[in-house]
């Protein structure tokens, strides 16, 4: 199996979209299982399923700077 290059794309007013082969770890060093080819990571800080995005940024009115 060929490794897919990793990429991180900030979604306007939303999460960071992570694609490719990466290893995600929690603050305590434990690996976090990625179940999809693309993962959305929270950057508003309000998600109930951190580090993943649950869409809370929309209701909270989260906005990114520097469009």
- What pTM does this model have? 0.83
Identify the pLDDT of residue 1: 56
* CA-wise closest residue to 14 among 64, 51, 48: 64
pLDDT digits (tens, 9 = 90+) for 9-38: 999 999 999 999 889 999 999 999 888 889
pLDDT-based confidence at residue 3 (cuts at 50, 70, 90): confident
User: Cα separation of 62 and 13, whole Å?
Assistant: 6
Q: Where are the domains of the chain?
A: 7-60
């Amino acid at each position: 199996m060929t490794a897919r290059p990793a990429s991180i794309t900030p979604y306007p007013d939303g999460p960071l979209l992570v694609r490719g082969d990466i290893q995600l770890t929690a603050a305590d060093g434990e690996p976090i299982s990625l179940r999809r080819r693309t993962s959305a990571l929270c950057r508003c800080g309000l998600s109930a399923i951190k580090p993943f995005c649950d869409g809370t940024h929309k209701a909270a009115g989260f906005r990114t700077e520097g469009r």
